[in-house]
Structure 1
């Protein structure tokens, strides 16, 4: 998406996930609007522009999914692929503390970039998208995988819910750096991201069954009458969600409530208490000390530079330095 000049930001509508429900269509979902939080996350990473867009999409997708969890804990979205962007990691401490990072090969990114833009499928390549849930109260860990085949994160999310969860799901994601007008009218560049997820959750599970094959691919000897049809309510919901434009998801002048009313005004939509999202890294000197304490002395000595061990957080960029005195005193 190209940079766009928009109106002054209403910060009250930013950095939150707004749950919604459309009862006549048996649809539930959330709209995520990220402003200062995503700008802070992307600004601290020295990444090519197309990679920042992709990382912003990953943050928006992870925020949509993490804010559906009822138990406090941790949600991690991670890709490992053979593409120019070999890794994306979004780590969310529920309900809404976000940190994220990416690893890429700049030369390969440049090779697939045209006019400052690159398709997310070209950046990701082939590999795996993993989503991990760590429940805070029970300590249980759940993990789901979906293969990536040069597809976008939107398409990968659709594949995951179709194959693993078997829930009809539609996802929309958008990221762009915009030119905003500050409180005194000055021009300011800032990253914004947005996302919408809608899921078909009727009381009868029979209604969510859909054909595995497109009608045009149905074998000649198949009994078409036995193949379940896609529910009309879900087809209507998909048609409405597909009308959402990128600008509507990131424009600070279009809060989530207004977008939902535009989409579902004929059916009626209910919204619920939003979840606040914020940029927050969990790294600390104490945590790193605990990691270093587990390392053998020879590895610490090898990692030391002029007698000191330096550690940089890949998420927030903060640097920690442990002096020779600390190392020798047994603190580490």
Structure 2
């Protein structure tokens, strides 16, 4: 593959469907975008890995939402890895890239540098929020932290909250081009059984961890056979096929699922994006009184704010903030 072709698939989500198995899915490449997300911070490797996995899951899941909607993924725990937060913003107009951002909050004093990041989340929850506009209350669904990875949590979420059998196969890490600099490379595939009108679920609890539902609890007969076959085929994928420059996503789908009649749809470009701005900071402080603003004012007589996602720093005159603000243009 030429470098130009390889770059064409970077930071792209390719939706597809397996017509003979009633399964849909997405192939993801998240390269320069992931590099940009992680370069905003100086995370320890365990936290970097969590943010990378969460960003990939968010991109794969977010691609299904409607134009102009926003999807957020949050992982909260009582361990040293306290919070992983990501946002996916659907394109505002057709043809534009979707945008994504992510950050983590962690307790550096308690973090074990050599331990896997997932083990350091502790007890908590995995949540997905879908924002449908300013006039609509966001949809929220959550499940307990379960399994051995964030991908396992996402699979449990879809089985429990959406009753949709779902599988993620992700790989990511740093690589170096010959004569170039080190950068992040990430690729993954998501499989999801098409929704049924009436999922076959009993009230007896599931076979997953802690009684959560799993994919096996949601299917039977031909559906279960098709699902198991597709998962076996997916398990044969190699890491270099997902992140390397040698196999295009379209060719990979044919290699893995040629007997399932794969059909691809238009790819969706994705890039790093953070909608924070000085005006948004001002708007968020507009509900506070002058007295409240006074409590936020530093010894230098300024109100400051930092964006956790992109690191932007805002330094504002307190007299221009809150309900009693003076127009900064006066």
| TM-score interval, smaller chain | 0.7 to 0.9
Alignment of 1:81-230 (within 5 A): 81-95=77-91, 96-109=98-111, 111=112, 113-114=113-114, 118-136=115-133, 139-149=136-146, 151-181=148-178, 186-201=179-194, 228-229=220-221
1:271 and 2:264 aligned: yes
Q: Which of residues 295, 300, 304 in structure 1 aligns to 2:297?
A: 304
Question: Cα distance, 1:149 vs. partner?
Answer: 3.9
1:272-311 CA distance string (max 9 Å, x none) = 1011111010000111111122223233222222001111
Partner residue in 1 for 2:72:
76
1:43 and 2:42 aligned: no
TM-aligned CA distance change 1:51 to 1:285, over 3 Å: same
State the secondary structure of the residue aligned to 2:13. Answer: strand
How many angstroms apart in 2 are the aligned matches of 1:158 and 1:135? 23
Partner residue in 2 for 1:221:
none
State the secondary structure of the residue aligned to 2:181. Answer: strand
1:254 and 2:250 aligned: no
Question: Cα distance, 1:121 vs. partner?
Answer: 2.6
Q: CA RMSD in A?
A: 2.7
Q: TM-score, normalised by structure 1?
A: 0.83
Question: Cα distance, 1:231 vs. partner?
Answer: 1.9
State the secondary structure of the residue aligned to 1:265. Answer: helix
1:244-273 CA distance string (max 9 Å, x none) = 233332224333222212211233311110
Q: TM-score, normalised by structure 2?
A: 0.84
Q: Please say if residues 90 and 98 of structure 1, whose CA atoms lie closer than 8 Å, have aligned partners that are also in contact.
A: yes
TM-aligned CA distance change 1:46 to 1:27, over 3 Å: same
How many angstroms apart in 2 are the aligned matches of 1:204 and 1:258? 33
- Identify unmatched segments of 5+ residues in structure 1: 1-5, 215-226
TM-aligned CA distance change 1:295 to 1:234, over 3 Å: same
Q: Please say if residues 147 and 153 of structure 2, whose CA atoms lie closer than 8 Å, have aligned partners that are also in contact.
A: no
Q: Please say if residues 71 and 135 of structure 1, whose CA atoms lie closer than 8 Å, have aligned partners that are also in contact.
A: no
- The range that moved more, 52-61 or 243-252, is 243-252
State the secondary structure of the residue aligned to 2:308. Answer: coil
Question: Cα distance, 1:36 vs. partner?
Answer: 1.0
How many angstroms apart in 2 are the aligned matches of 1:228 and 1:29? 20
How many angstroms apart in 1 are the aligned matches of 2:51 and 2:260? 34
Question: Cα distance, 1:7 vs. partner?
Answer: 9.2
**More contact order relative to length (CA 8 Å, sep ≥ 6):** 1
Count of residue pairs the alignment pairs up: 305
Q: Which of residues 231, 241, 251 in structure 1 aligns to 2:234?
A: 241
Partner residue in 1 for 2:215:
none
Partner residue in 2 for 1:218:
none
TM-aligned CA distance change 1:294 to 1:273, over 3 Å: same
How many angstroms apart in 1 are the aligned matches of 2:320 and 2:156? 50
1:319 and 2:319 aligned: no
Q: Please say if residues 127 and 149 of structure 1, whose CA atoms lie closer than 8 Å, have aligned partners that are also in contact.
A: no
- Identify unmatched segments of 5+ residues in structure 2: 92-97, 208-218
State the secondary structure of the residue aligned to 2:143. Answer: strand
1:283 and 2:276 aligned: yes
State the secondary structure of the residue aligned to 1:234. Answer: helix
Q: Please say if residues 7 and 180 of structure 1, whose CA atoms lie closer than 8 Å, have aligned partners that are also in contact.
A: no
How many angstroms apart in 2 are the aligned matches of 1:298 and 1:93? 35
TM-aligned CA distance change 1:213 to 1:101, over 3 Å: closer
State the secondary structure of the residue aligned to 1:231. Answer: helix
How many angstroms apart in 1 are the aligned matches of 2:188 and 2:237? 10
State the secondary structure of the residue aligned to 1:321. Answer: strand
Partner residue in 2 for 1:223:
none
